[in-house]
Amino acid sequence: MPAKHIEVKTFKLAHSIDDTVKIEHVEKPYGEYSSPVVSIAVYSHGKTKTSEVEIPYENIETFLKALHESIDLCESIPRNPIYAELNSDIGGGA
């Protein structure tokens, strides 16, 4: 029996025009007796899969913890405020 993909959520990828992220539950991903996984895929222009990772459910808690640690790390790095180089609250343009 082939793998069965059940869509959980699709959303627009930030800082892109029309790239999306699709999260799916996948039953029997590697054959009849394989355990289910979560698939996280990025689609370019909403159509062409450009990357994908499949994570066994046994690793989800560790994966989520690592994502939260990554967010904390990102937020701890000092950055210039957006548009600071323009000394303005909004972007430039002619």
CB 24 within 8 A of CB 32: no
The residue-averaged pLDDT of 24-52 equals: 95
Q: What does the alpha-carbon distance between residue 86 and residue 88 come to, in Å, rounded to a whole number?
A: 5
Q: What is the per-residue pLDDT for 25?
A: 98
The residue-averaged pLDDT of 20-37 equals: 96
pLDDT beyond 90 at 15: no
Q: What is the per-residue pLDDT for 90?
A: 62
Helix, strand, or coil (residue 86): helix
CA angle at 29 for the pair 26 and 32, rounded to the nearest 5°: 120
68 phi and psi angles, rounded to 5 deg: -65, -40
For residue 37 the two structure tokens come to 């996984």
The residue-averaged pLDDT of 9-20 equals: 93
Domain boundaries, the chain: 4-79
User: Over the stretch 40-90, which tens digit does the pLDDT of each residue have?
Assistant: 999 998 789 999 999 999 999 999 999 999 999 999 999 877 666 776 656
Question: In a 10 Å sphere around its CB, with 0-12 CB exposed, 13-18 middle and 19+ buried, how is residue 24 labelled?
Answer: buried
